[in-house]
Chains A and B, each alone.
Chain A
Amino acid sequence: MKSAFVTVGSTSFDELILSVTSNSVIQIFRELGFEKLVLQIGRGLVRPEPCTFGDFTLEVFQYKDSIAEEIQRADLVISHAGAGSCLETLGAGKPLLVVVNDQLMDNHQLELARQLHRDGHLYYCTCKTLADTMKSMDLSALKPFLPGKTEEFAIFMDRIVGLEKVD
């Protein structure tokens, strides 16, 4: 069953939840072959009722300890631009569409989405452009995202604290 997972992270993103559950966007999901939509709504005030209509299922939850399973099960992840969700999704090798919240005070999240989009790893849009982006995106064109160089960081740290290995 082709499913999409929408995550808003640790806070809320009511505008996104409203957008993805709007009739027009649900229609786009169906046209793209999706049969299931799972929403992680955080502490949002917009709380759609989970339901099934025809061959389309809507699941809703606020938080889980880990969204790794939801990401694994999804064929598409639609996420707020938080680093955690983005990195987790890209790390799992799943197609990612980031929706930037233009209501936030200082929209630094846009910088990351824009850069990762430039590097070909995800698509990004705002709630207003969500429908158009979903219709035009080509998920197979996305490039794999390599994990960060944590070993380089560890080597750097060992050097500066004086733990460098002596050969």
Chain B
Amino acid sequence: GGHTTEILRLMESLSPCYNPRHYVIAETDTMSKDKICCLEVSRKYKYAEQEYTIHKIPRSREVHQSWSSTLLTTLHSLLYSGPLVFTLKPDLILCNGPGTCVPLCISALLLGVLGIKRILIVYVESICRVEKLSLSGKILYYLSDYFLVQWPNLKEKYPRSIYLGRVV
């Protein structure tokens, strides 16, 4: 719900140069696809030659899922995100915190480590996170190239982060 709304607001602002766009959503997510298509249809009216694709990977963690089983499901997600990132070789990954983004970013880092491609990772912490980072945020704080926070409290606690104000 929230993650999709936030990331689509960010996507709305980007120039047509960020093309083609690959959206990765969790298999069990039934609502995001429609929201993405809505945005992309409106972009098509504004800009020529825009391409987008929606990919589904297993969710790393369901809401309310226990932490112990989360490790297993995350490893399972890696089996899908690895090949996806390897095939697409994006220049940039933009993510904002759902568990699905962690395996994708780990796969991107792996591609860098193996010398295959250097992928820029930009993480924008959710507007919901005012005082504490999400679990994805804590993991990706050190692994991302640019880590954006939307509240000044977090900028103080996490000096490596970037604060542009509320961007969503």
User: B14-47, CB under 8 A of A: which get 1 and which 0?
Assistant: 1101100000000000010010000000000000
- Tell me whether A18 is interfacial, beta carbon within 8 Å: no
Contact of B13 among A109, A151, A161 (CB under 8 A): A151
On whether A114 and B5 interact (CB within 8 A), knowing A150-B10, A150-B12, A151-B13, the answer reads no
On whether A111 and B164 interact (CB within 8 A), knowing A83-B6, A150-B9, A163-B15, the answer reads no
Which residues in window 56-109 of B have CB below 8 A to A?
A: 63-64, 91-92, 94
Chain A residue numbers with a CB within 8 Å of B91 are 161
Which residues in window 138-163 of B have CB below 8 A to A?
A: 145-146, 148, 150-151, 162
Q: A123: shortest Cβ distance to chain B, in Å?
A: 17
Closest chain A residue, CB of each to CB of B135: A106
Interface 9-mer from A22-30, A45-53, A130-138, A152-160: A152-160
Find out whether the CB atom of A153 lies under 8 angstroms from the CB atom of B164: yes
Find out whether the CB atom of A83 lies under 8 angstroms from the CB atom of B10: no
In the complex, besides A11-B1, A161-B120, 10 extra interface pairs with C-beta distance below 8 angstroms are A11-B63, A83-B1, A83-B126, A83-B168, A108-B132, A148-B9, A149-B167, A154-B14, A160-B120, A160-B145
Interface residues of A (CB under 8 A from B): 9-11, 63, 65, 81-85, 87-88, 104-105, 108-109, 111-112, 114-115, 148-154, 156-158, 160-161, 163
- Tell me whether B50 is interfacial, beta carbon within 8 Å: no
Q: A149: shortest Cβ distance to chain B, in Å?
A: 5
Chain A residue numbers with a CB within 8 Å of B120 are 160-161
Find out whether the CB atom of A111 lies under 8 angstroms from the CB atom of B5: no
Q: List 10 A-B contacts (CB under 8 A).
A: A9-B1, A83-B2, A87-B168, A88-B5, A111-B129, A150-B168, A153-B148, A154-B14, A156-B162, A160-B145
- Tell me whether B131 is interfacial, beta carbon within 8 Å: yes
